[in-house]
Structure 1
Amino acid sequence: MPRQIGLLLYPDFQLLDAAGVTAAFEIAGEFGGAPYETTPLSHHGGLVRSSSGMAIETVPLAAAGSFDTLVVVGGKGHKQAMACPELQAFIRYQAGTARRICSVCTGAFLLAAAGLLDGRCVTTHWQQASTLKAQFPEIRVSAEAIHVHDGPVWTSAGISAGIDMALALVTEDLGADIGRRTAQQMVVFYHRPGGQSQFSILLEMESPQERFTELLGWIRSNLKQRLTVDILASQVGMSPRNFSRSFRAAVGMSPARAVERLRLEAARERVEGSTLPIEAIAIMTGFHDPERMRRAFLREFHQPPQAVRRNAKTIY
């Protein structure tokens, strides 16, 4: 029997949130021999217009059957959808019958409004994470994670992260081989760790001054080296004093802080995505001393590297 997937839409939903997960399930079903059947749903049924203007034909909630998995998509219309009592009642009902309840991007707000996320660890698009936390203080929001699995509830960040989540669901259902083949067919990465950051710190620190942008890339490629202010200033042909002042003005932080954040990002990627010893990762990323790296993790992530590794495995 096909696995039934309910895809909950509303006016001004994000088209790619819906299309990405639907494509992943469709392709996985072709490979796995146990197809998925996806049913788009909406309050009244009929054509529902996305924020891009394209529309999808949907089944009304009153005619919906039972689902193995319910996926609630995100989009500009999520605030209005949160206020719809029929949608909230439907989500709560499905939470009692479906095996899994999932959200993409701001779809997490609908799950939160339905009371499904209290006490759980969840994620959403990084731009909306603080709003979700402020509106629903009982929720533990991971602002960086690509997707989070907490019991029967799965939440993911924006658009492409919904595909990552769908691949994780496929892997849970059909095994790693089908998940990998599905990712290959879609030409996307397979098994991006759920706890991996939604965006690179290099994007956040990007400078309008080309020489500092190039320097940040050079730092990222040379983390194992000693990266003092004198060395960095020499790399861009400036005096240390002028370099420190100009770098802070352009990048928004001191050179030492930028180096530490780049080291932390690289270290976290290896902690979450590999089985390398913590001591080896400390050396590879320029911390050298694992205790020094542990203290930096505690300052930035509020947990030591070993806990970050355990949580990444749990989240995925």
Structure 2
Amino acid sequence: MRRSTRKQTRQRPHRVVMLGYPRAQILDISGPLEVFARTTRWLRDHRHLQRDAYEIELIAPTAGRLETSGGLGLFAERRYTEMRRADTLLIAGGIGYREMMQDRKLLQWIQNQATKVERIGSICTGALLLAAAGLLDGKSATTHWDYCDRLAQVARNARIERDAIYVQCDNLYTSAGVTAGMDMALGMVEADWGKAIALAVAQELVMYLKRPGGQSQFSRHLTAQRRDDVFGNLELWMLDHLDAELTVENLARRADMSPRHFARLFVQRIGMPPAAYVRRLRVEQARSRIESGATRAKQVARECGFADEQSMRRAFRHVLGVTPTDYRSRFAGARA
């Protein structure tokens, strides 16, 4: 695993290169790059760094004007084969990814660069290009929730984290759609410069919170409302009764099924066992309470259905990768 060198010890700027292509998503490109550019400015203004922390560049299949999926044009100074150097290589997402997946020379180039750069990452459907280049085999990865099935088909030997904001696996990063690319970029800044600077940059960008990678991509209520079967109604009821005893037997009884049949169908429809899903719902509710200013962990645990504070702590670490205390400090730091 290559580890990003802290910039305090670097003699030159860390070079971040974004690969764009026709009909890429403009925010997939501009969002992460702005995080790195803003970090450079913040370090100059507040830490009086006498050099650039990051250099950024946009490359593409052809140099010149690059039309994004929204119709706005960006400018790529050079084509990807002319790239001079990259420490971090990012692959943008967008509806143009399908055409790029047919470009064998481009995919071979991505594969070759993965052995040279310190880290490589993707935003949204850019993960499908990493998959087509053979870089996700045996790795954990994510993409926009609407493309997870497609990613699983292309990267059959990858572990698809369908609900994560972003995933780091060794020196490979993948993120969900659009703004999640900024969360991933902030995660890289934190790895390079520490949590305090990453939070300060998030604050300058008026981002509500520097989200951990394991946070959910979307609202559970919206997901439940999209389901038009008994599980949709059951999910909505669960969200309103998280402090109830949500055992398989009780949930099956409410769905008018046998426990065994219910558990099997639940995994098929929801994608995880009932107990794991209940734990995730409770963590997300507890997270929301913390964001709303709740300070008493014991009360939050009780209201969200956890047996005690330790049970909530274990669930937070399993789902989000952080403790409730750490989550509160991150949130408070972003709001400060």
Establish whether TM, by shorter chain, passes 0.5. Answer: yes
Which of 192, 204, 209 is the equivalent residue of 1:185? 204
Matched, 1:46 2:64: yes
How far apart, CA to CA, are the structure 2 residues paired with 1:128 and 1:50? 19
> Contact 1:16–1:159 at 8 Å: present in 2 too?
yes
Name 1:20's counterpart in structure 2: 31
Q: Deviations for 1:157-194, whole angstroms, at most 9, x for unmatched residues?
A: 00011010011111111111211111011111333121
Q: Which of 273, 282, 285 is the aligned partner of 1:266?
A: 282
Cα separation, partners in 2 of 1:312 and 1:70, compared to 1, 3 Å: farther
Gaps of 5+ in 2: 1-11, 44-48, 247-253, 257-268, 324-336
Coordinate RMSD, CA, aligned: 3.9
Cα distance change on mapping 1:53 and 1:204 into 2, 3 Å? same
The within-5 A match list for 1:1-316 is: 1-32=12-43, 33=49, 34-58=52-76, 59-206=78-225, 220=239, 223-224=242-243, 264-267=280-283, 270=286, 283-288=302-307, 305=315, 308-309=318-319
SS in 2 for 1:205: helix
Q: CA deviation at 1:196?
A: 1.1
2-structure distance, mates of 1:186, 1:289: 37
Task: Provide the rounded CA distance (Å) in 2 between the counterparts of 1:68 and 1:136.
Answer: 25
Structure 2 Cα separation of the partners of residues 118 and 37 of structure 1: 30
Deviations along 1:261-280, one digit per CA (max 9) or x if unpaired, are 67742325658x99x9x998
Change (3 A) 1:307 1:186: closer
Give me the whole-angstrom Cα distance separating, in 1, the residues matched to 2:116 and 2:298.
46
**Offset of 1:93 from its aligned partner?**
2.0
Cα pair 1:201 1:262 within 8 Å, conserved: no
Give the distance between the partners of 2:226 and 2:129, measured in 1 at CA. Answer: 36
> Identity of paired residues, percent?
33
- Equivalent pair of 1:201/1:261 in contact (CA under 8 Å): no
Distance 1:268 1:308 in 2: 12
Deviation at 1:114, TM superposition (A): 0.9
TM-score between both structures, scaled by the size of structure 2? 0.69
Q: Measure how far apart 1:43 and its partner are.
A: 1.5
Q: Where in structure 1 are there 5+ consecutive unaligned residues?
A: 228-240, 245-252, 295-303
* AA in 1 matched with 2:111: R
1:270-297 residue CA offsets vs partner (Å, 9 max, x unmatched): 58x99x9x9987633125489xx89xxx
Amino acid in the other structure paired with 1:160: T
TM-superposed CA distance for 1:217, in Å, is: 8.6
- CA gap of 1:143–1:218, structure 2 versus 1, over 3 A, is closer
**Partners of 1:226 and 1:111 in 2: CA distance:** 43
2:138–2:158 CA contact under 8 A, matched in 1: yes
Amino acid at match of 1:176: K
How many residues in Structure 1 have an aligned counterpart in Structure 2? Answer: 272
Alpha-carbon offset, residue 3 of structure 1? 1.4
- Contact 2:131 2:154 survives alignment (8 Å): no
- Distance in 2 of aligned mates of 1:207 and 1:56: 36
Give the distance between the partners of 1:43 and 1:207, measured in 2 at CA. Answer: 38
Change (3 A) 1:119 1:262: closer
Do the aligned partners of 2:16 and 2:90 also contact (CA within 8 Å) in 1? Answer: yes
Q: Do the aligned partners of 1:146 and 1:196 also contact (CA within 8 Å) in 2?
A: yes
- Equivalents in 2 of 1:176, 1:68: separation in Å? 21
Q: Structure 1 residues 312 and 130 mapped into 2: Cα distance closer, same or farther (>3 Å)?
A: farther
Equivalents in 1 of 2:214, 2:320: separation in Å?
10
SS at match of 2:225: coil
Structure 2 SS opposite 1:206:
helix
Whole-angstrom distance in 2 between the partners of 1:83 and 1:307: 40
For 1:200 and 1:4, the matched residues in 2 are separated by 35
